[in-house]
Chains A and B, each alone.
Chain A
Amino acid sequence: ICSMRLLLFLLALLSSVACTLHRFKTIVDAGQTDCFTVDIKQMSVGVTASYMVISPDSSHDIHFDLRGAQSSYQVKERKQRGIHTFEAAQGEMSLCLDNSYSFSADKLVAISIHINDDVIPLSQIADKTTQAAQSIQRALKLAQNELYDRANVEKRHRTVAENNFESINFWGIVNSCVMIFSSLVQVFLIRRLLK
């Protein structure tokens, strides 16, 4: 009896672990295309794929190409951020980030692929304590995902602020040079005019 309970518990433990989450940030160089593929082993599983362009700027977008296995779902769009939830069939699901239309902008993209392959649904766990603990764990996981998304948005805003900080200097110097140069040109022209 004890071993059965431990077995069920470990399965429940692993079900919280087996809810696969691929979350990473990668740099797509200008002119390049980066593709990521996930091999889905279950027959049909719910997948949530989201992406967000973090830098160089909040005005940059990227070409997003998502292809589910066996043509179950297809998305081709060019946006800054997007979330797609769908049922993926068994097979290879590929996600491509196409930056080939850009000449010089290297894009930092945050990607999150969440695959809902829970081994044991909540209602089938007999023990009330385990059920409670499992639901707390799921709520905490949701909270963590929210925190992560918010951190990405904050990073995007902070990148804009830091870019502003640098451009202030640049444009200040450019303005001052233009002013000095135009005053010199004015004096030079007047002198030439009256020579």
Chain B
Amino acid sequence: IKGKRMIRVIAVLSVLAVATNALYFHIAETERKCFIEEIPDETMVIGNYKVQLHDPNTNGYADYPSIGMHVEVKDPEEKVILSKLYLSEGRFTFTSHTPGEHTICLYSNSSSWFSGAQLRVHLDIQAGEHTQDYVQIAQKDKLNELQLRIRQLLDQVDQIQKEQNYQRYREERFRQTSESTNQRVLWWSIGQTLVLVATGAWQMRHLKGFFEAKKLV
């Protein structure tokens, strides 16, 4: 009986956790809204969303179950890793395999029945250790509160370490770009000097021939 009460308490608290201050924005029906997440590799990203349609009668926004939301996720090499049509409310998940900027694009699939209508999209994107469901882990591994707390701290430290490694990789790329730019500047300077000298030499030769032909020299 104690266990059942515990599960109920956990369920209530999980609901409380979801009822936080949510973010929403408006898009037109055929409009596409993109978000960029810069994440290291092997990181899971979870997005929770809800779509509501503008109701001109009440001048508010109401749920409309037949609207679908198309979610398209592209990896740093512009390759599509997730392209699925979801319901008007749901969650999408993907795991990154290469570090870099992943683009998450959302657009609705509704046709021009509700032409010009505005959609309100509630969105919450979580990446990394925020995606772990600790309530579930506590139940599965039978951890007491101290162990769960330490597990959470360990996960957080792991995530920070991953971020820092990724930061190192990005700064390496930055340094390579700067060094390539320096090299390019050097080659272009040499090249342009050669072009100057060549055009000058060509001009002298051509004009010398021209003056000699015109019997001016």
Residues of A that sit less than 8 Å from B by CB: 3, 5-7, 9-11, 13-14, 17-18, 20, 22, 24-27, 34-42, 108, 113, 115, 117, 129-130, 133, 136-137, 140-141, 143-144, 147-148, 150-151, 154-155, 157-158, 161-162, 164-165, 168-169, 172, 175-176, 179-180, 183, 186-187, 190-191, 194
Contact = CB atoms under 8 A, between A and B. Distances in A.
Interface residues of B, number: 66
Contact of B163 (A18, A151, A162): A151
Contact of B20 (A3, A117, A133): A117
Interface of B: 2, 5-6, 9-10, 13, 16-17, 19-26, 33-38, 124-125, 130, 134-135, 145-146, 148-150, 152-153, 156-157, 159-160, 163-164, 167, 170-171, 173-174, 177-178, 180-181, 184-185, 188, 191-192, 195-196, 199-200, 202-203, 206-207, 210-211, 214, 216
Given A3-B2, A27-B36, A157 B174 contact: yes
Given A22-B23, A36-B25, A158-B174, A140 B164 contact: no
A183 B124 CA distance: 61
Contacts of A35: 25-26
Secondary structure of the B side of the interface? helix
Nearest to B24: A37
Secondary structure of the A side of the interface? helix
A140 B145 contact: no
Contact of A36 (B6, B23, B171): B23
A146 to B, nearest CB: 10
